């Protein structure tokens, strides 16, 4: 998208080259394209309008920096403003833990926004930090909602308060009392999801709030929400007073413009984002990355960070040394593949690269490289230790055996052998700038 956006902007600004100052007519033409991008990302149309007015004021008369083209300059202004609107540099990844535990966190939101899954993810995250948690299943109305939270709680080893049945306030009360008795750090209240026009639900939420005085009231909102996000957030904020947002289902291809609308009407911070169905699929929110996503710019920062998480410095240096020695074997190659796969699915990784979105559209099977890696691992798995260390010994007969063992063909084994040699050569060149910086440079140069 950004590619498209910046291409369009570049063509608008072509005639501007050499003038050096952004003028109104050019900016208006550029902002028309920005408007389309924001509307396609589901930002509320009124929010878009206000936003563009602000951008216009900022941009008119600005000098185009020497290092940037006029198009890039406008994108930069837009991106910075988006980032500022979503909380600037702040990446506030956790609800504040109260000095008087237990900290009570209440989750509210529409049905289907992902409250129950998010409750389990939050619990898992704090459990990983060594905290003690109680979950409260305060949705007695949706069939099997309680069963769902209990099952998720069991998966992550956290207990769930379910009684008294059919009494949401009672369940929350009991959960908090139990957490106090057990000196837990955190209680998470999973409330019933209903449409925000449902007065009975709002009354129930208000009474839970009045009785238990939660420290945090977090709105769980679906990243795919359209224009209705404004009314939904406004209503919840007015009725129960929100302290933060958790944006869910960002693992799809939604650009998530709704978050901008929600921020605009509530002004509260986004705390976490949900990126999958598993308990660990919860991440802190980064305004800069979200700004890029809404504009369709890809997420290079996340990619680099993930790479850095997986490859520790020492590991990276050790790997770099290995690449240089001739002793580099298929065993090491397999370790590298496994490390890369630890960073997540290749489809996701590619999605973070600017421009990759368009690239991947032409590929009928976006997870093709994933499968390829599985095949490579299978082929290496079918080699003997000697073959892995000295690929030179692999002859026709061995090739056949390896192909049979891994369910592939001799040609595929051949191709891997060739690729292996090429990789070795490539990596030797690359490893001249050793370690982590080398890897980061490689990624940046993409």
The yes or no reply on residue 366 touching other proteins (CB under 8 A) is yes
Tell me the C-alpha distance between 407 and 147, whole Å. 42
Q: In the window 296-335, what residues touch other proteins (CB under 8 A)?
A: none
Q: Which residues contact 228 (CB under 8 A, 6 or more apart)?
A: none
Q: Which of 144, 210, 385, 421 binds other proteins (CB under 8 A)?
A: 144
Complex with other proteins: residue 21 or 165, whichever CB lies closer: 165
DSSP state of 184: -
Span near other proteins by CB under 8 A; candidates 7-15, 70-78, 143-151, 434-442: 143-151
From residue 208 to residue 247, the character string flagging contacts with other proteins as x (rule: CB under 8 A) and all else as - is --------------x-xxxxxx-xx---------------
151 binds other proteins (CB under 8 A): yes
Strands (E), 8-155: 103-108, 133-138
C-alpha–C-alpha distance, residues 371 and 382, integer Å? 17
Q: Which of 187, 302, 210 is nearest to 251 (CA)?
A: 302
In the complex, what is the shortest distance from the CB of residue 83 to other proteins, in angstroms, rounded to a whole number? 21
* Rg, Å, the chain Cα set: 26
Closer by beta carbon to other proteins, 52 or else 176: 52
* 156 belongs to the binding site for other proteins (CB under 8 A): no
Q: Inter-axis angle of helices 368-381 and 410-430, to 10 degrees?
A: 100
Contact flag: residue 404 with other proteins (CB under 8 A):
no
Asked if 196 interacts with other proteins (CB under 8 A), we say: yes
Does 112 help bind other proteins (rule: CB under 8 A)? yes
Residue ranges in 18-47 that form contacts with other proteins under rule CB under 8 A: 36, 39-42, 44-46
Q: Which is nearer to other proteins, 152 or 297 (CB)?
A: 152
Rounded to the nearest 5°, which phi and psi values hold at 100?
Answer: -115, 85
Q: Which of 87, 114, 214, 287 binds other proteins (CB under 8 A)?
A: 114
Rule CB under 8 A: say whether 372 interacts with other proteins. no
Q: How far is the CB of 45 from other proteins (least distance, A)?
A: 4
Minimal distance in Å, beta carbon 107 to other proteins? 14
Taking alpha carbons only, the member of 148, 122, 145 closest to residue 134 is 122
**106 vs 258, beta carbon nearer other proteins:** 258
Strand order in the sheet with 282-284: 159-161, 133-138, 186-191, 103-108, 216-222, 244-248, 270-274, 282-284
Q: State yes or no: residue 199 binds other proteins (CB under 8 A).
A: no
Contacting other proteins (CB under 8 A), which of 6, 73, 113, 161? 113
Interatomic CA distance for residues 267 and 47, integer angstroms: 13
- Residue 197 binds other proteins (CB under 8 A): yes
- State the nearest-atom distance from the C-beta of 188 to other proteins, in Å: 16
Q: Are strands 133-138 and 186-191 parallel, antiparallel or unpaired?
A: parallel
Please count the residues of this chain forming the interface with other proteins, following the rule CB under 8 A: 50
| Closest CB 40 distance from other proteins, rounded Å | 6
249 binds other proteins (CB under 8 A): yes
Q: What is the DSSP annotation of 351-397? A: HTSTTHHHHHHT-S-TTHHHHHHHHHHHHHHTS-HHHHH-GGG--HH
Smallest gap from residue 268 Cβ to other proteins (A): 20
CA 65 to chain centre: 32
CB 33 within 8 A of CB 9: yes
Query: Can residue 110 be called a binding residue for other proteins (CB under 8 A)?
Result: yes
Question: Which residues of this chain interact with other proteins, rule CB under 8 A?
Answer: 36, 39-42, 44-46, 110-114, 141-145, 147-152, 155, 195-197, 222, 224-229, 231-232, 249, 251-255, 257-258, 277, 347, 365-367
């Amino acid at each position: 998208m950004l590619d498209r956006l910046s291409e369009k902007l570049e063509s608008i600004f072509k005639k501007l080259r050499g003038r050096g100052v952004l003028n109104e007519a050019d900016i208006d033409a550029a902002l028309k394209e920005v408007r389309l991008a924001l509307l396609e990302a589901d930002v509320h149309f009124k929010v878009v309008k206000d936003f563009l007015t602000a951008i216009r004021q900022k941009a008119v008369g600005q000098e185009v920096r020497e290092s940037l083209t006029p198009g890039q300059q406008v994108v930069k202004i837009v991106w910075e403003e988006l980032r500022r609107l979503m909380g600037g540099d702040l990446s506030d990844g956790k609800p504040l833990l109260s000095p008087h535990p237990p900290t009570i966190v209440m989750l509210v939101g529409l049905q289907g926004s992902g409250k129950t899954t998010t409750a389990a993810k939050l619990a898992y995250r704090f459990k990983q930090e060594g905290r003690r948690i109680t979950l409260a299943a305060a949705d007695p109305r949706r069939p099997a909602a309680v069963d769902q939270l209990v099952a998720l709680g069991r998966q992550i080893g956290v207990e769930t308060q379910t009684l008294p049945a059919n009494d949401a306030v009672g369940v929350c009360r009991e959960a908090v009392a139990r957490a106090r008795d057990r000196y837990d750090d955190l209680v998470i209240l999973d409330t019933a999801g209903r449409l925000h026009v449902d007065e009975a639900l709002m009354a129930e939420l208000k009474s839970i709030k009045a009785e238990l005085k939660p420290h945090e009231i977090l709105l769980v909102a679906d990243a795919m929400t359209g224009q209705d996000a404004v009314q939904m957030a406004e209503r919840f904020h007015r009725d129960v007073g929100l302290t933060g947002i958790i944006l869910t289902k960002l693992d799809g291809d939604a650009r998530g413009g709704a978050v901008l609308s929600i921020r605009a009407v509530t002004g509260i911070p986004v705390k976490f984002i949900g990126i999958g169905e598993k308990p660990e699929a919860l991440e802190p929110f980064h305004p800069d990355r979200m700004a890029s996503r809404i504009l369709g710019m890809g997420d290079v920062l996340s990619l680099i960070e993930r790479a850095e998480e997986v490859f520790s410095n020492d590991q990276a240096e050790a790997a770099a040394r290995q690449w240089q020695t001739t002793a580099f074997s298929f065993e090491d190659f397999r370790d590298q593949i496994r490390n890369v796969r630890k960073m997540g699915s290749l489809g996701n990784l590619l999605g973070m690269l600017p421009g990759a979105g368009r690239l991947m559209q032409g590929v009928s099977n976006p997870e093709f490289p994933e499968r390829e890696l599985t095949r490579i691992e299978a082929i290496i798995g079918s080699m003997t230790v000697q073959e892995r260390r000295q690929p030179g010994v692999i002859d026709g007969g061995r090739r056949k055996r390896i192909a049979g063992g891994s369910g592939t063909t001799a040609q595929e084994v051949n191709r891997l052998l060739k690729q292996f040699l090429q990789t070795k050569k490539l990596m030797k060149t690359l490893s001249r700038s050793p370690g982590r910086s080398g890897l980061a440079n490689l990624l940046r140069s993409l």
